[in-house]
Amino acid sequence: MHIPLLLLPVLGALARASPIISRASSWPNAPFTTSGRDMKNSLDETVVYAGVNWPGAADVMIPEGLQYQSVSTIMSKIKDLGMNVIRLTYAIEMVDDIYEGVDSSLKTAFVQALGETNGTKVLKEVLTHNPTFTENTTRLEVFDAIAAEAHTQNIYVHLDNHVSKGEWCCSHTDGNAWFGDTYFNVANWKRGLAFMAKHAKSWPAFTSMSLRNELRTTANGTGDNWVSWYENMIPAADGINKANPSPLIFFSGLNYDTQLGTIVDGNDIGNGTSFALSDHAYADKIVWELHNYANSATNCGDIEGSLRNQGYNAMEGDSTAVNTAPVVLTEFGFDQNSGSESVYAQCIKKYLNTLPGGPGGWMQWVISGSYYIREGGQDKDETWGLLNHDWSDWRNQTATDYTKSFVDETLT
């Protein structure tokens, strides 16, 4: 929200006279809706997301970094960048365990994923840094604590279903790729989405959620087509809206969430049907999400051209965009040791911040300086992480300055 400088003294005086009606007290002014290519809060003000991914969908199924820092310290770091949202990722397996009555305590979660010795050690470190948790705190209660802290610090929570089976994402062969893949049970997925939508009603900072991260072909090359997308995504979105009508619902596309053009443009999905926003009672809750990792591009025009074809024509007010809704870049990122001055990083920033009609929302991959476990390796370093290995400081000041200026330009 941009307040003209001249008004600031007046607002200050008002706030002193009647602090109870100050706007900050009703943050986040949810539920959000959409209007054309913009997201709106309940005061009809445009809201643009500028934030970061906080992963919690790998083997332990607990948000990362808590063996090094407290929830509030990590949230403060995010706040220091001026960001206003976290994309908090979770695995459907976490919800399956709840339905199946499997012990989801921190103790069991860490020991199962890291083994007895390391699991016990890491659990102890988590409890040292986060003394309100005990070994019996559940995974979901950790998500609750993060959502509560997000509210305290006025950071919106966007909940992202990243995978079904909790593990590092994403490849064609990981079993989480497409509806019906080895671990991607469609009924459990829909149940999990509805469960999280309902559960998150108790989180005041909760404003939006996704259907699924990075759909893609399976190991044998099946999947990744619009008819199957439509058949699965629409009922799942219906289920979310029925469980909780408040959140915005983010629709991802094909091929690792790099294609939504067919849907945005209202083209035939392949069987004579076309997607139309107006077919859906909750049309003003639908948001498009895309990912971009064109890191090796040497020409910004090429990146812009792809983004436009992939669905960003909706943000440009182009008449080819029949189904105009906001588009949010929920993942992009680069190696913090080398990437911030690349054509890619500079281009993404410039493109999103200079879209006609105002900046587009984004979430950088990733806040994590390290992971409890990734692809079998424990305490794995993340060179793309904004934070360093022990989450105590920024990894690279030049890269952090890039992100900070990206936020500043998006939000002012």
Question: Of these, 396, 404, 409, 411, which contacts ligand NAG (CB under 6 A)?
Answer: 396
Q: Which stretch binds ligand NAG (CB under 6 A): 45-53, 90-98, 133-141, 149-157?
A: 133-141
Contact 190, 239 (CB under 8 A): yes
376 touches ligand NAG (CB under 6 A): no
Contact 359, 392 (CB under 8 A): no
Please, what is the minimum distance in Å from the beta carbon of residue 323 to ligand NAG? 16
- Among positions 265-284, residues that touch ligand NAG (CB under 6 A) are 271-273
Instruction: Give, as one character, the DSSP assignment of residue 333.
Output: -
Please, what is the minimum distance in Å from the beta carbon of residue 380 to ligand NAG? 9
Nearest to 189 by CA among 216, 223, 212: 212
Residue 204 burial (CB count, 10 A): 16
Please, what is the minimum distance in Å from the beta carbon of residue 9 to ligand NAG? 40
Question: Of these, 12, 180, 235, 357, which contacts ligand NAG (CB under 6 A)?
Answer: 180
- Among positions 136-165, residues that touch ligand NAG (CB under 6 A) are 136
Largest CA distance in the chain: 66
Binding mask 219-258 for ligand NAG (x = CB under 6 A): -x-x----x--xx---------------------------
Instruction: Give, as one character, the DSSP assignment of residue 136.
Output: T
Per residue in 207-245, is it b (16+ CB within 10 Å) or e — as a string?
bbbbbbbbbbbbeeeebbebebbbebbeebbbbbbebbe
- Among positions 204-223, residues that touch ligand NAG (CB under 6 A) are 218, 220, 222
Q: How far apart are CA 126 and CA 19, in angstroms?
A: 38
173 touches ligand NAG (CB under 6 A): no
Q: How far apart are CA 360 and CA 351, in angstroms?
A: 9
Binding mask 307-346 for ligand NAG (x = CB under 6 A): ------------------------------xxxxx-----
Q: How far does the chain reach from its first CA to its final CA, in angstroms? A: 7
Note the residues at the interface with ligand NAG (CB under 6 A). 115, 118, 134-136, 180-182, 218, 220, 222, 227, 230-231, 271-273, 337-341, 378-379, 396, 398-399
